[in-house]
A and B are shown apart, each in its own frame.
Chain A
Amino acid sequence: MTDGSKLGADTGSSLVADRISDTVNETLPAKRPSLPEQSHRGVSKRPKLTAQDVQVARETAELFKSNIFKLEIDELVHELKLKDTHCKLIERVLHRLYDIIQEIPTSGEMSLDQAIDHFIQSPTRIVIPFPDPKPTSVNYKFNYEPPEDTSLVGSFGLKTGIQQPKGMVIDVALTMPKKLFQQKDYMNYRALYKRAFYLAYVAENLIPLAKKHHLPIKLSYEYADGDVLCPTIRIDSYLPESPEEDDLIFEKTSFSIRLYVGFPFGLFDAKKLLPDRNCIRVKSEETELPPTPLYNASILTSSSYTCYLKYLYTAKKTSEAFRDACVLGKLWLRQRGFSSNITEGGFGHFEFATLMAALLDGGGEHGNRILLHGFSSFQLFKATIRYLATQDLCHEGYLSFCSVIGEHKSVYKPKRGFGVPTIFDKNTKINILWKMTPSSYGMLRKHAQAALDLLNDVVTDRFSQIFIQNANSKIMKFDAVIRIPLSLVNQETDGFGPLEKISFLTFERYVSSKIFKLLSIALKDRVTQIDVKVSETESTYFSIIHRRPSAGVKFVDIGLYLDAAESEKRVTKGPLHSQKVEGERFASFWGPKAQVRRYKDGNVQYSCLWPAFGTESPTITIAKYILDLHLQPGISKNMVVNSTKFNVLLASPLTASLGSSHPLIIPSHFQELHSSYDSLCKLIYNMESLPLTVKSILPASSSLRGTSLLLPVPFAITNPDFFNDSVMQFETSTRWPDELLTLERTKTAFLLKINAALQNVSGYTSYLTKDNSIPYLKDVVTTLNVLTPEGHGFRFSVLTERDELLYLRSIENADAKQKPAVTDSYIKFMQKYIGSVKHHRAINGLVTRFPFFGPTVRLFKQWIESQLLSTHFSEQLLELIAAKVFIDPAPYPVPSSTATGFLRILNFISHWNWREEPLILDLSADDADSITGTYIDKISGKLTVQEHQMMSENFRKLRKDDPSGNHVQFFVASREDPSGKLWSSNRVGLPMASRVTVLSKIVVSLLSRSEGISEGQLRLAFTPALKDYDFVIEVKDPEDMRARSGVLPGDTFKNLVPSLTEFPSDVSKFEDPVQNYFSELAARYSNVVVLSTHRYTCLSDEKEGRANVITGIFNPAVVHGKKKFRANIGFNVRPTEDEHVECNEEAILQQMVRLGGDLVVSFKRYH
């Protein structure tokens, strides 16, 4: 071996020094391109085009996804680089540590009792970290001799270390000398006991020697990557009270050193330690003992630290970009919560790097190379991710490689999977993935597939989602999380006997595996992935005066990724009745729930039927049932399920959902509303008395697309969303008047005709109302309101092909002063007619595409409502923001539960810097909608790069004019609205936009801070902070609003609530007076005060359904400072001494309260 001295085959400090100096000297292989400086030459002012520039630009476009991606990767790698000063310091520390270790005296042979005695008498109070079971009587001796080899292993050795919040850990491996062992020591923990003694002895001697050598350190034990068989010493620096000059303190670097004790390579016969061998003999009635793969792998891993260091080092030397790719891989895994640690998936930097090295040596089915040495870091990373995503290393096959340098023998062996994730090294006989479980492997693949999709995206830059964003939030990662206290699972009754002990090593691992198996069978297609982990609350290391970490309170956390299309199904189907064997197995697995049912298709099948609760997903019901049945009776009472609590927050409707199998995702109310709507539309389409026939009626209502906050209950006329809007178009005609007001009057004439025709249809009531939503068209526009016999309300307005033209012409004709105002009216028109219809269609598509989109939006609206924000955000804007986490969910998968969807929305808002970032959405459905021939363009196909760029450009222009976002805060563009401001201009306002950001931040941090999500916290998240406002008017309706709004009062008996069966004679008398009061205040004072209220009084008051609040914040631009007096100043003023005026707040407040009259309960001024 030519570079043996460098790699650590020999002993000595030269090795450590060599490697460390290498770290410092070797700069990044991919230097940041040094472009303009060199090419200037100072001749011309404009940088001249050089061949080099073109070369770099061309190359990056080819080797990397795009220029920007390469630049971003360079920047990221640079950012993650360890600080040189830190490395230099740690280099000196390692030197000193090396010297200290050399000074440790030999111990002489000791028997077990002598060894234990030795430590009892030691002043350090150190305890030998023997693994379980503790040795009682052994017939061999313990001994310490200086290590055969001391080397730097792990990422610091490879110089792939990156900065981490918790600090970098430097791995140092001591190899025990050969002569301390016998051939058979791999059996029955013998080598492990010897190692434990060795480790404790090192620790004992390190303490006084470190002091002597001026290296103030503190020691603790830590299991290597969570492997309970392999304790290590963790060395941290600390600041002594009176530091001496020579003291080497590296506390500030936040580095720590981990001391491994390994066995010499090749000491034990690796064949006997293959994963299918048993190496722990226990007394058992069974003739054949089960294999001990974890034990075997642990011993082999301990003997091959330097072997892999060499292997990876060679890979790094042969492939220039290997190091950067390792850094990218490490960060990518970290952001998803993966590490080499058993409790964190067992796939970390080491496994990623080894996989890459193996793929550089082959890896295809015929040993063909997956990675080439000349690949860029991006290509290496992407190809490795693709390999992880597409090759099944668990069930279908495995990857075999050989860590002997120069033997390029990696090959994928299909059809020979072991049922456990496997990358097998023929040299060391280790399965590199031995720390993984089928569950964690499934998770890894899921992440890899998602990352691959992102890497293939050509439309947008996905850098941030792949590397920068953390995708490991406990509360947001999974669709549902079930938490079980581990202490409640009984070890004895649960079949954790001696045989299980040797194959699983720990009870935690055994339980996790059992739960995973149970749920995999029980939930089948309902889940796409199950993650079972035992969470530990305390830190990973423990004091050296204990043999093992104290048993803290532990929980089993079951994370589920649900399949939205399956998870809500109420039937679990089993084998056919005729299949006897399978049937019996089914019946014994499902216990009393199993039954035989006949289905419509004539099949007689074993099945289980689950109740529909509306709040709890059947999937959770099943999980609870099966764990009760097979894990521990009654355990479901102690389960904490996070998702269900969120579903409860949705208001329950007055009438129960009928005959629907999914009361949460598609309540029957929406279907009933639709059928009522359809029959009304049919009626209108068939009207013959009209001069022009109706060509199309397009809905634009949140209830008709299943996203309204309240469910549409028949005859619930107090519901603010009772009337559902629609836009009606007639057949094409050239005779529409060529002037705006007369055009509106003509429309009114048409509506009057329809109204007259409807009077003759029994059951329907209809009338026309004014619509003043478009400014400067006061008292001109009308709409037709229709009450159907089914108890629903619809409102129709008319759109013609001439409207838009006339608005545009008005803008053209307006003078410079009028232009903005006329444009405002045009925007309003677009919102009300064309925009809302397009929006409805797009969102409706999403509601069918993503089953949980509807309920998630409804919960999100409820939150906005509870925080007094719903008067500031249009429903459309809220729906679009919510759509973001469904159509562009990266770095997470598409949410499949209300809870996750909701939290991800809040998470998105809390991170969305809307001043600098646009939100560009691709709302196109996979199957384009089939409404054709309408005035509104058909949508189809995905967003193209050009469209995307055009929208970004719109945003850039907008912010150029208005950098702080005074006019448009949330820029939300889609093909339906490329301008991006249709739903957020003139409405939200800076203070409310900032408020929603702040509130979402608070809620996210509140809910992620603690372990489970408690009901109290959720309640808090849905409570408004009234003291933030300048003043609060508490109001109370004369009557309970709940039943009339279609909301079930929570505190009374259901049969006491009057049911709604018909319309009163005058519908308009049943509106919520508080809302009318608020509307008037808003109309009169919106230029002075930002007013807020709960739009749904029925939800704001749980006790009586009457109380509400109106809050206000004075507009500082208006209230503060003096203004020049002018007649049309527009708000209430008082004079100042110097002939100016200022806002007369007191008079305004008094008038506000006066308008409220008997509705007002109290008034409070906070600021």
Chain B
Amino acid sequence: MTIKQIKGYTILAVQLEPVEGKPKGATHYLFVKKHITKNQPESKTRSLFVVNLPVGASFNSMKRLLNNIALGAHVESFDACEYYDPDDIINYDLDINLSKLSNPDFGEEELPSSRNAPVGCGIVTFLDKDGMNLALSSIKKMVMSSSSSSKLPTWSLLPEGETGSARYLEKSSEGNVRLDSKELAKSVHIAMQDFEKREHEVQEELNTMRQTVDEDGFTVVVGAHRKTKSGVMGSLKTQDDLEHDDRYIKKMKKKEKKDFYRFQIRERKKQEVNDLLRKFKEDQERVRVMREKRKFNPY
């Protein structure tokens, strides 16, 4: 592999430890660059952004690797987001907050479980900026100088105690892990209190709305059962909306008499014949399609 960089990322190839008799030690590729965000401009950052992490990448495994490459760069912390989706259903490109969506007024703003890095990526934070620079430059140097014959740094996947029966006997499936009821009760209690606080704030806001008189001298009328602001706003259905409402249309239609005028009867009859014919034509079409698919061959 001669390519060294891709879109500003330095490509660091690492050798995975071979596992007995199974696919011979494969090569894994990490993509590294400086971690820059709005809050952390280049001048301030002391983190590296690593793409394509191997399974079970942890603080220890990252530290071990960096110690190999750049001695002296001290890692402070490591955050990662691993792909983990039992039903292959989660869209990792999106951040979905069902709390906020289900109630825009007092849903939680920040979910505790929201991700700190894009899927499959990790952020290595060093003790200081120099450490980060040292690590990055060492990586770059190593990558640039490497040839096909040179030895790649090794990445040790999970240690012995974290694989196989040890891993899967200890770690039972999610549906069977006992939650500590006391702790659970505590956290539920806190969350409920938060919720009540948020609910209360919205209530307050609503009260102020009720009392404020706007420039034209109007006040918003708030019913006793209205709980939220958007609930109040949402209730103002215009005539336009009503015309699209099926239930409203049905109600209006029911009031009309249908066989009063002669033209109504005539039209209805015409409609019936047309329906009959349309169905007939449709059936013909269907049979034609079936014929093409040889649906009429009984053998």
> Measuring CB to CB, which residues of chain A are less than 8 angstroms from any residue of chain B?
33, 35, 49, 53-54, 56-58, 60-61, 66-68, 71-72, 75-76, 78-80, 164-165, 331, 334-335, 464, 467-468, 470, 723, 737-742, 745-746, 748-749, 752, 755-756, 767-773, 775-779, 782-783, 785, 795, 806-807, 809-810, 813-814, 817-818, 820-822, 824-825, 828, 916, 986-987, 1037-1038, 1067-1069, 1071, 1073-1077, 1079-1080, 1082-1084, 1086-1087, 1125, 1127-1137, 1139, 1141, 1144, 1146-1147, 1149-1151, 1153-1160, 1162-1163, 1165
Closest beta carbon of chain A to B285's beta carbon, Å: 10
Closest beta carbon of chain A to B264's beta carbon, Å: 20
List which B265-283 residues lie within 8 A (CB) of chain A: 273-274, 276-277, 279-280, 283
Let me know if B242 is at the binding interface, CB within 8 A.
Answer: no
> Measuring CB to CB, which residues of chain B are less than 8 angstroms from any residue of chain A?
1-3, 6-7, 9, 11, 16-19, 21-23, 25-29, 31, 49, 51-52, 54-56, 82-94, 96-99, 101-104, 106-108, 111, 113, 118-121, 157-158, 160, 163-169, 171-179, 181, 184-185, 188, 191-192, 195, 199, 227-228, 273-274, 276-277, 279-280, 283-284, 286-287, 290-291, 293, 295-299
**Chain A, Cβ-Cβ closest to B190:** A745
Contact of B192 with A746 in the complex, beta carbons under 8 Å:
yes
Q: Which of A66, A824, A1077, A1082 contacts B86 (CB 8 A)?
A: A1082
25 contacts between A and B (CB under 8 A): A58-B276, A68-B283, A79-B298, A164-B299, A331-B298, A468-B296, A739-B99, A742-B99, A742-B192, A749-B192, A770-B177, A818-B101, A822-B101, A828-B87, A1083-B85, A1127-B120, A1128-B119, A1128-B121, A1129-B120, A1135-B1, A1144-B26, A1154-B163, A1155-B164, A1158-B166, A1165-B23
Contact of A817 with B94 in the complex, beta carbons under 8 Å:
yes
Contact of A1154 with B102 in the complex, beta carbons under 8 Å:
no
Contact of A49 with B273 in the complex, beta carbons under 8 Å:
yes
Please name all residues of chain B whose beta carbon is closer than 8 Å to the beta carbon of A739 when the two chains form the complex: 99, 102-103, 106-107, 195
Contact of B98 with A1076 in the complex, beta carbons under 8 Å:
no
A387 to B154, CA, bound (A): 84
Closest beta carbon of chain A to B226's beta carbon, Å: 12
A334 to B113, CA, bound (A): 66
Please name all residues of chain B whose beta carbon is closer than 8 Å to the beta carbon of A1127 when the two chains form the complex: 31, 49, 51, 118, 120-121
Given A49-B273, A467-B298, A752-B185, CB of A769 within 8 Å of CB of B157: no
Please name all residues of chain B whose beta carbon is closer than 8 Å to the beta carbon of A1157 when the two chains form the complex: 158, 160, 163-167
Contact of B104 with A813 in the complex, beta carbons under 8 Å:
yes
Given A1082-B86, A1130-B119, CB of A1159 within 8 Å of CB of B99: no
**Chain B, Cβ-Cβ closest to A467:** B298
Q: Which of B96, B111, B164 contacts A1160 (CB 8 A)?
A: B164
Please name all residues of chain A whose beta carbon is closer than 8 Å to the beta carbon of B99 when the two chains form the complex: 739-742
Please name all residues of chain A whose beta carbon is closer than 8 Å to the beta carbon of B26 when the two chains form the complex: 1144, 1146-1147, 1149-1150
Closest beta carbon of chain A to B253's beta carbon, Å: 19
A164 to B191, CA, bound (A): 75
Please name all residues of chain A whose beta carbon is closer than 8 Å to the beta carbon of B172 when the two chains form the complex: 1068-1069, 1071, 1076
Q: Which of A72, A770, A1087 contacts B88 (CB 8 A)?
A: A1087
**Chain B, Cβ-Cβ closest to A741:** B99
Majority SS of interface residues in chain A?
helix
A71 to B49, CA, bound (A): 68
A778 to B89, CA, bound (A): 13
Majority SS of interface residues in chain B?
loop
Contact of A75 with B290 in the complex, beta carbons under 8 Å:
yes
A785 to B174, CA, bound (A): 12
Please name all residues of chain A whose beta carbon is closer than 8 Å to the beta carbon of B19 when the two chains form the complex: 1150, 1153-1154
Closest beta carbon of chain A to B192's beta carbon, Å: 6
A237 to B16, CA, bound (A): 73
Given A742-B191, A986-B89, A1136-B3, CB of A1073 within 8 Å of CB of B22: no
Q: Which of A61, A749, A1151, A1165 contacts B54 (CB 8 A)?
A: A1151
Please name all residues of chain A whose beta carbon is closer than 8 Å to the beta carbon of B28 when the two chains form the complex: 1132, 1144, 1147
Given A806-B102, A809-B103, A813-B101, CB of A54 within 8 Å of CB of B276: yes
A549 to B101, CA, bound (A): 82
Residue of B98, B174, B299 with most chain A CB atoms under a 10 A cut-off: B98
Contact of A738 with B227 in the complex, beta carbons under 8 Å:
yes
Given A71-B287, A809-B103, A1159-B165, CB of A749 within 8 Å of CB of B1: no
Please name all residues of chain B whose beta carbon is closer than 8 Å to the beta carbon of A742 when the two chains form the complex: 99, 191-192, 195
Please name all residues of chain B whose beta carbon is closer than 8 Å to the beta carbon of A755 when the two chains form the complex: 181
Q: Which of B1, B21, B119, B287 contacts A1163 (CB 8 A)?
A: B21
Given A67-B279, A748-B184, CB of A1067 within 8 Å of CB of B176: yes
Given A777-B98, A825-B98, A1141-B6, CB of A749 within 8 Å of CB of B174: no
Contact of A828 with B157 in the complex, beta carbons under 8 Å:
no
Please name all residues of chain B whose beta carbon is closer than 8 Å to the beta carbon of A334 when the two chains form the complex: 298
Contact of B178 with A1087 in the complex, beta carbons under 8 Å:
no
Closest beta carbon of chain B to A416's beta carbon, Å: 38
Nearest 9 A-B pairs (CB), nearest first? A1157-B164, A1157-B163, A1068-B172, A1073-B168, A1128-B118, A1146-B26, A810-B101, A740-B102, A1158-B164
Contact of B2 with A1068 in the complex, beta carbons under 8 Å:
no
**Chain A, Cβ-Cβ closest to B103:** A739
Residue of A739, A1082, A1153 with most chain B CB atoms under a 10 A cut-off: A739
Please name all residues of chain B whose beta carbon is closer than 8 Å to the beta carbon of A165 when the two chains form the complex: 299
Contact of A1139 with B6 in the complex, beta carbons under 8 Å:
yes
A825 to B163, CA, bound (A): 32
Q: Which of B98, B184, B284 contacts A782 (CB 8 A)?
A: B184
Contact of B188 with A748 in the complex, beta carbons under 8 Å:
yes
Please name all residues of chain B whose beta carbon is closer than 8 Å to the beta carbon of A1141 when the two chains form the complex: 6
Contact of B191 with A779 in the complex, beta carbons under 8 Å:
no
Contact of A824 with B276 in the complex, beta carbons under 8 Å:
no
A1128 to B173, CA, bound (A): 27
Contact of B55 with A71 in the complex, beta carbons under 8 Å:
no
Contact of A741 with B181 in the complex, beta carbons under 8 Å:
no
Closest beta carbon of chain B to A700's beta carbon, Å: 14
Q: Which of A818, A824, A1130 contacts B89 (CB 8 A)?
A: A824
A1019 to B31, CA, bound (A): 50
A740 to B195, CA, bound (A): 11
Please name all residues of chain B whose beta carbon is closer than 8 Å to the beta carbon of A1149 when the two chains form the complex: 22-23, 26
Please name all residues of chain B whose beta carbon is closer than 8 Å to the beta carbon of A1137 when the two chains form the complex: 2-3
Given A68-B287, A752-B181, CB of A76 within 8 Å of CB of B298: yes
Contact of A1133 with B29 in the complex, beta carbons under 8 Å:
yes
Contact of A821 with B94 in the complex, beta carbons under 8 Å:
yes
A54 to B272, CA, bound (A): 11
Please name all residues of chain A whose beta carbon is closer than 8 Å to the beta carbon of B195 when the two chains form the complex: 737, 739, 742, 745
Please name all residues of chain A whose beta carbon is closer than 8 Å to the beta carbon of B102 when the two chains form the complex: 739-741, 806-807, 809-810, 813
Q: Which of A335, A1087, A1150 contacts B23 (CB 8 A)?
A: A1150
Closest beta carbon of chain B to A726's beta carbon, Å: 14
A1134 to B9, CA, bound (A): 13
Please name all residues of chain B whose beta carbon is closer than 8 Å to the beta carbon of A49 when the two chains form the complex: 273-274, 277
Please name all residues of chain A whose beta carbon is closer than 8 Å to the beta carbon of B25 when the two chains form the complex: 1150
Contact of B120 with A1131 in the complex, beta carbons under 8 Å:
yes
Contact of B85 with A1087 in the complex, beta carbons under 8 Å:
yes
A785 to B179, CA, bound (A): 11
Q: Which of B181, B191, B274 contacts A745 (CB 8 A)?
A: B191
Contact of A1155 with B167 in the complex, beta carbons under 8 Å:
yes
Please name all residues of chain B whose beta carbon is closer than 8 Å to the beta carbon of A1074 when the two chains form the complex: 168
Closest beta carbon of chain B to A870's beta carbon, Å: 15
Contact of A1079 with B90 in the complex, beta carbons under 8 Å:
no
Given A467-B298, A740-B98, A1157-B167, CB of A806 within 8 Å of CB of B16: no
Please name all residues of chain B whose beta carbon is closer than 8 Å to the beta carbon of A828 when the two chains form the complex: 87, 89
Closest beta carbon of chain B to A786's beta carbon, Å: 12
Please name all residues of chain B whose beta carbon is closer than 8 Å to the beta carbon of A986 when the two chains form the complex: 87-89
A775 to B85, CA, bound (A): 9
Contact of B90 with A775 in the complex, beta carbons under 8 Å:
yes
Please name all residues of chain A whose beta carbon is closer than 8 Å to the beta carbon of B274 when the two chains form the complex: 49
Please name all residues of chain B whose beta carbon is closer than 8 Å to the beta carbon of A821 when the two chains form the complex: 90-91, 94, 96
